[in-house]
Amino acid sequence: MRYRIVLWMLFLAVPSAIAQLSIGIGLPGVNIGINLPVFPNLVQVPGYPVYYAPQLRSNFFFYDGMYWVYQADSWYASTWYNGPWSLVTPEAVPLFVLRIPVRYYRNPPAYFRGWRPDMPPRWSEHWGNEWEQHRRGWDQWNHNSAPAPAPLPVYQRRYSGPQYPRAQQQQQSLHSQNYRYQPHDALVRPYYQGQPVQRSPAPLQRGQQNTQRSKPPAPPRQDGPTTLHPQPQQRGSEDVQRSAPVQAHTRQKDAAEQDRRQQPHQGPAPHEQQSPRSIQKNTQDGRDAPREPRHGPGPRQEKGDERAQERSK
C-alpha cells in the first residue's frame, strides 16, 4: 500500500516536472533553451492585453495571437507554444510586450534587480540612447484604454509530446483551420504571417550595421569654396538668340519699303542741275559745246540793222 502511494505521488509530479524542463533543448529554427511538452497554463496580466505563464520558470508571454519569450537577453516569437522561434530585434518588439511589469518575468535577468516590480523594465537604460530615440514614448500610454486581449489558441492543447507538429507547413495549416484571429498590432503581423526575420545572437548590433549600410555614401569633402559652373546653352536657345536680330532687321527693311511705296512719285525739279557726269558726256558728244564767235555781223544782224534804220526815219 505504501509503495502504491509513492508511485501515485511520482505520477502526479511527472507533468509538473516535464513542464519545467527549459535548459539545453534544441528546437527547429532557433535554439532558445526552452522546451514545453504540454500546453502551458496562461493567466492574463491585470490591465494589460498580455498573458503570462506563472508555473514556468521562463519569461513566457502571449500577446496578439503569438507567444513571446525573453531568453538570453533577446526576444523571440512563435505562433505555437513550443516553437519554432523567430528572433525579434529590440526595435521590433511590440509596445505592450515592452510594457509588461517586472514582477511577471518568472526568470528575470540579473540587471532587473532593483527595478520597481510594478513598472516595465528599463529598456532605455539597457539598450541605449539610440534605441530610446527610435522607440520614444514607449512607456507612456493610457492604462484605461488598453485593447482587449486576443483569444488563446486552446486547440493546441491536443498537440503535445510526440503529437506536436514540427514542420512549419503543418503548423500553419492547423493554425489557419483552428484559429481565426488576426493580429491588430502592426509589429506582430510580419511574424504572424511567417515572413523571414533576421537571426543573430546580437540583434541590436546587427540592426546598427544594417542602418550604417543603408546610409548613402557621403559626398567628397571640398576644402575650397564651391564654384558653380554655368551650364552650356542648349542649341535651340542659341538659334533663337541668333535669329532674333535678323528678324528685327527684316521687319525694319519691310517697313521702309512699304513707306517708300506709299509716297507719291515726284519728278525731277525744273531747275535741277545736271550732274557733272552728264555735262561731261554732253560735252564729249559736242551737243552743248560752246561755239567760237564769228568776226563781223552775220546776214541776220545786217538785216536787223536795216529795219532799225527805216523805223527811225
For residue 42, tell me if it sits in a domain. Answer: yes
Contact 30, 199 (CB under 8 A): yes
| Banded model confidence at residue 270, pLDDT cuts 50, 70, 90 | very low
For residue 309, tell me if it sits in a domain. Answer: no
Rounded mean pLDDT, 20-47: 72
* Each residue's pLDDT tens digit, 151-165: 999 999 999 999 999
Query: The C-alpha cell of 211 is what?
Result: 542602418
Contact 210, 90 (CB under 8 A): no
User: Which tops the pLDDT comparison, 246 or 190?
Assistant: 190
For residue 36, tell me if it sits in a domain. Answer: yes
pLDDT score of 33: 83
For residue 61, tell me if it sits in a domain. Answer: yes
Rounded mean pLDDT, 25-49: 81
* Each residue's pLDDT tens digit, 118-129: 999 999 999 999
For residue 292, tell me if it sits in a domain. Answer: no
Contact 172, 195 (CB under 8 A): no
Q: Which residues pair with 258 in a beta bridge?
A: none
Contact 156, 165 (CB under 8 A): no
**Domain span at residue 154?**
27-204
Distance CA 246, CA 256 (A): 16
Distance CA 201, CA 297 (A): 149
Q: Say what percent of the chain tops pLDDT 70.
A: 52
For residue 1, tell me if it sits in a domain. Answer: no
In this predicted structure, the answer to whether residue 182 has a pLDDT above a threshold of 50 is: yes
| Banded model confidence at residue 193, pLDDT cuts 50, 70, 90 | confident
Listing DSSP states for 100-124 in one string gives --GGG-SS--GGGTTS-TTS---HH
If you search the block for the grid coordinates 564654384, which residue do you land on? 227
If you search the block for the grid coordinates 535678323, which residue do you land on? 246
The three-state secondary structure class of 283 is helix
Distance CA 15, CA 300 (A): 175
Sign of the CA dihedral 129, 117, 97, 107?
Answer: positive
Distance CA 64, CA 152 (A): 9
DSSP state of 285: H
The pTM score is 0.57
For residue 33, tell me if it sits in a domain. Answer: yes
In this predicted structure, the answer to whether residue 115 has a pLDDT above a threshold of 90 is: yes
* Each residue's pLDDT tens digit, 79-100: 999 999 999 999 999 999 999 9
Tell me what the pLDDT averaged over the chain comes to.
Answer: 73
How many domains does the chain divide into? Answer: 1
For residue 231, tell me if it sits in a domain. Answer: no
Sign of the CA dihedral 49, 54, 60, 62?
Answer: negative
